[in-house]
């Protein structure tokens, strides 16, 4: 595919993501598969689309100094300017004059000479004068929001919860590339054998401190290896692996995963149980439950029974005290995975936090009675918001005297995490900057 066509495709993608609030990773995957884009162009397309979305508010701050606010601009022109400026300011692979030339050609092709002239004028003006200095913004919350391209309300919220320094570190981490981590299938292969094979292929990697099944890939594309294609490894963030490690599920147990899609934790649990025992996995959507079952089959795991059901109604399907272990990986705002899904930070609002916190509390209330006495329940989310985490758990414990935060949870955390700023009396908040993982909350409750 020619460079011009790749960048046309990028403009199309940015328009769709902006217009439909679509999930960028799904739209990018669809575009790559449907247009048969080469590996080289795939990397370029992904980098520019993600980077432009990730830096959207910063780019708009820069652009508004050079664009007449009274002039109404078509959405595709805004996206063209954003992506061109992203390349000029944040990348150094292509010279500015080439970026401007291509932007002008795209403007001519999609619009007319007037638009091409506008695009040329804005970009050349920025090339001459440079982008405005964010140090001019006096309010430090607003300055951090613009510099790291997070909505101001979200930055204010995090500062109220964690203070300015943690918020700043978190916002900066959300702009950085996270190393990929994988989980080996221990019933099929050892971590040592996987690392030896990857080493021969030229990969750079290291062992995870969070799970003895985890490997962090610093260099190399695991998707193009036989290890991935044949189900010897699966992609999973270390924070997500830690959830299953802390569930302490042993072979022969009966386990419930109440909100199991996309299936990483439930398949990991089956591996920890050495594929012996029973796991019932639910998701609200039948399509996702089917995907979980397919994922289990890929990994040769047979103890998982995945079905569609609302986690708030599982008492209709199971008697009280049916399970040795329960995992509730609750639906959440996803503020901990902004680094991989940057559109989340623009699409979610404060009302979403309140709405989801109520759903999380309802799920916890409904599912907890299904746990046996002395059983363990993990509550986790991929967000960093205390309303969805600490407050949900505290509210539940206040109403349920037969449950308590399991003190052994803190003793069993990996050594590397001990002393982490995210540890509280109620559980563990992993921040994205602490260990280069997703932002994740987890706690373990015990029924006494």
Rounded CA-CA distance 339/317 in Å is 37
Continuous segment of H or E residues that includes residue 316: none
Q: Mind listing the pLDDT tens digit of every residue in the chain (448 residues)? A: 567 788 888 999 999 888 876 667 777 777 777 777 777 788 888 899 999 999 999 999 999 999 987 778 999 999 999 999 999 999 998 999 999 999 999 999 999 999 999 999 999 999 999 999 999 999 999 999 999 999 999 999 999 999 999 999 999 999 998 899 999 999 999 999 999 999 999 999 999 999 999 999 999 989 889 999 999 999 999 999 999 999 999 999 999 999 999 999 999 999 999 999 999 999 999 999 999 999 999 999 999 999 999 999 999 999 999 999 999 999 999 999 999 999 999 999 999 999 999 999 999 999 999 999 999 999 999 999 999 999 999 999 999 999 999 999 999 999 999 889 899 999 999 999 999 999 999 999 999 9
Rounded CA-CA distance 79/14 in Å is 6
Residues 105 and 147 in one domain: no
Please check whether residue 228 lies inside any domain of the structure: yes
Expressed in angstroms, the distance from the first to the final Cα of the chain is 62
- Binding residue per annotation — 220? no
Instruction: Tell me the H-state helices in 136-285.
Output: 140-148, 152-162, 164-173, 191-200, 226-229, 238-247, 264-272
Structural domain harbouring 38: 3-129
- Binding residue per annotation — 263? yes
Residue 79 exposed, middle or buried by CB count within 10 Å (0-12, 13-18, 19+): buried
Q: Which CATH number fits the domain that encloses residue 288?
A: 3.40.50.150
- Binding residue per annotation — 237? no
Residues sharing a CB contact under 8 Å with residue 207, sequence separation 6 or more, in sequence order: 191, 195, 214, 215, 216
The domain total for the chain is 4
Residues 250 and 378 in one domain: yes
Catalogue the active-site residues: 382
Residues 145 and 271 in one domain: no
Cis peptide before 262 (omega within 30 of 0): yes
Q: Which CATH number fits the domain that encloses residue 192?
A: 3.30.70.1170
Rounded CA-CA distance 167/159 in Å is 6
Rounded CA-CA distance 146/156 in Å is 12
- Binding residue per annotation — 329? yes
- Binding residue per annotation — 261? yes
Residues 85 and 160 in one domain: no
């Amino acid at each position: 595919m020619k460079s011009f066509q790749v960048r046309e495709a990028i403009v199309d993608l940015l328009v769709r993501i902006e217009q439909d609030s679509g999930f960028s990773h799904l739209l990018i995957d669809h575009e790559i598969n449907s247009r048969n884009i080469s590996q080289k162009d795939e990397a370029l397309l992904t980098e520019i689309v993600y980077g432009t979305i990730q830096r959207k508010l910063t780019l708009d701050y820069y652009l508004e100094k050079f664009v007449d606010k009274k002039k109404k601009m078509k959405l595709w022109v805004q996206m063209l300017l954003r992506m061109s400026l992203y390349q000029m300011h944040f990348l150094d692979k292509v010279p500015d004059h080439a970026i401007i030339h291509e932007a002008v050609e795209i403007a001519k092709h999609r619009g007319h000479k007037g638009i091409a002239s506008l695009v040329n004028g804005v970009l050349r003006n920025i090339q001459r004068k440079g982008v405005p200095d964010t140090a001019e913004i006096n309010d430090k919350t607003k300055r951090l929001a613009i510099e790291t391209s997070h909505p101001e309300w979200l930055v204010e919220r995090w500062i109220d919860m964690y203070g300015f320094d943690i918020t700043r570190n978190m916002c900066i981490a959300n702009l950085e590339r996270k190393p990929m981590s994988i989980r080996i299938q221990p019933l099929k292969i050892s971590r040592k054998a996987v690392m030896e094979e990857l080493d021969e292929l030229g990969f750079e990697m290291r062992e995870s401190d969070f799970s003895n099944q985890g490997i962090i890939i610093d260099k190399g594309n695991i998707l193009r290896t036989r290890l991935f294609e044949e189900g010897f490894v699966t992609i999973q963030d270390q924070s997500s692996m830690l959830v299953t490690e802390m569930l302490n599920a042993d072979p022969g147990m009966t386990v419930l995963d109440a909100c199991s899609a996309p299936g990483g934790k439930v398949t990991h649990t089956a591996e920890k149980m050495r594929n012996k025992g029973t796991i019932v996995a639910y998701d609200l959507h039948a399509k996702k439950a089917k995907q979980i079952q397919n994922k289990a089959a890929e990994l040769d795991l047979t103890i998982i029974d995945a079905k569609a059901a609302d986690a708030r109604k599982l008492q209709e399907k199971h008697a009280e005290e049916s399970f040795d272990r329960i995992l509730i990986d609750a639906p959440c705002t996803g503020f901990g995975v902004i680094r991989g899904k940057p559109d989340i930070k623009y699409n979610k609002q404060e009302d979403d936090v309140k709405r989801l916190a109520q759903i999380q509390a309802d799920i916890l209330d409904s599912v907890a009675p299904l746990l046996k006495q002395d059983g363990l329940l993990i509550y986790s989310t991929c967000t960093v918001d205390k309303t969805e985490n600490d407050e949900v758990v505290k509210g539940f414990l206040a109403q349920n005297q037969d449950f308590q935060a399991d003190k052994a949870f803190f003793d069993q955390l990996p050594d590397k995490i001990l002393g982490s700023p995210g540890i509280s009396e109620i559980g563990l908040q992993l921040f994205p900057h602490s260990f280069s993982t997703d932002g994740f909350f987890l706690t373990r409750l015990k029924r006494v």
